[in-house]
Amino acid sequence: MSRHMSERTTVRLPQDLLIRAKRKAAAEGRTLTSLIADGLRIVIAGNRKSARAKPVLPPVSRASGGLLPGIDLVDAGRFQDADDADVIARLTRPK
């Protein structure tokens, strides 16, 4: 198929996405078809690039082992209580 030939197809999109896409196309003064086509080109080009060369990120930390015993990430109040107790202990420590 030639690069410049168009073909009709049916695409099913969630209603909210379709509404947002139509608004964006209208705001940019373009057709919904051109917006979708450009979006597909970006996704396809991105996949080709990521398949070729995955970026190697430097390590952020060498720590391992997870959380210390007694650490509960869900209860933020316990962090504050532990921090307060630590500060009080340092302030009341004899010099």
DSSP 20-77: HHHHHHHHTT--HHHHHHHHHHHHHHHHHHHHH-PPPPPPS----S-SPTT--TT-HH
pLDDT band at 36 (very low <50, low <70, confident <90, very high): very high
pTM value is: 0.45
State the Cα–Cα distance between residues 37 and 31, nearest whole angstrom. Answer: 10
The pLDDT score that the predictor gives to residue 53 is 64
State the Cα–Cα distance between residues 14 and 35, nearest whole angstrom. Answer: 16
Task: Say yes or no to pLDDT of 48 above 70.
Answer: no
pLDDT in tens, 73-88: 777 676 677 778 877 8
Mean of the pLDDT values across residues 17-37?
A: 93
- Dihedral of CA atoms 10, 14, 20, 24 in degrees, nearest 10, equals -30
